[in-house]
């Protein structure tokens, strides 16, 4: 937690104050910020557990692989609004665009090749 992927200021009790030498510490000196890296960690762990359960069910090759990208895009989109370091494409945060593209591409692959179905 070096402050390179930090959140916006928060009053929540689990806010993180970064050292003044870090990127987050320079941007928000002494202010608690959302620990977005921990939010992403928790969501990735949750999606990992879901995928571990799903791998035990019959499906076509590539299903878990494609599902990972969909899940990652969902988790990244969920925390993007709390991040203070995102790039913008006009009036939209760039990660939202990237996440939408990932969900569309990998969702289409899952749907088009019906990867959730039992192996034929």
The tally of domains found in the chain comes to 1
Does the residue 77 lie in any domain?
Answer: yes
Task: Tell me the pLDDT band of 82, cut-offs 50, 70 and 90.
Answer: very high
Does the residue 118 lie in any domain?
Answer: no
Can you list the alpha helix ranges (DSSP code H) found in 4-119? 23-27, 36-54, 63-80, 94-112
Does the residue 12 lie in any domain?
Answer: no
pLDDT at 120: 57
Q: For residues 12 and 69, what is the distance between their CA atoms, to the nearest angstrom? A: 30
Give the model confidence (pLDDT) of 45-78 as tens digits: 999 999 999 999 999 999 999 999 999 999 999 9
pLDDT at 78: 97
Does the residue 38 lie in any domain?
Answer: yes
Instruction: For 56-81, give the secondary structure using H, E and C.
Output: CCCCCCCHHHHHHHHHHHHHHHHHHC
In 3D space, the residue among 72, 80, 76, 78 whose CA is nearest the CA of residue 47 turns out to be 72
Does the residue 28 lie in any domain?
Answer: no
Domain that holds residue 72: 34-112
Does the residue 72 lie in any domain?
Answer: yes
Does the residue 50 lie in any domain?
Answer: yes
> How many residues are recorded in the chain?
120
Could you tell me the two tokens for 59?
Answer: 């499906």
Does the residue 10 lie in any domain?
Answer: no
């Amino acid at each position: 937690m070096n402050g390179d992927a930090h959140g916006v200021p928060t009053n929540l009790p689990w806010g993180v104050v970064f050292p003044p030498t870090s990127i987050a510490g320079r941007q928000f000196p002494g202010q608690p910020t959302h620990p977005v890296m921990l939010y992403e960690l928790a969501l990735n762990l949750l999606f990992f557990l879901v995928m571990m359960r799903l791998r035990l069910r019959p499906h076509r090759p590539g299903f878990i692989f494609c599902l990972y990208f969909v899940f990652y895009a969902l988790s990244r989109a969920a925390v993007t609004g709390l991040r203070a370091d995102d790039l913008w494409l006009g009036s939209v945060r760039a990660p939202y665009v990237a996440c939408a593209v990932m969900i569309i591409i990998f969702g289409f692959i899952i749907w088009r090749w019906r990867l959730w179905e039992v192996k034929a």
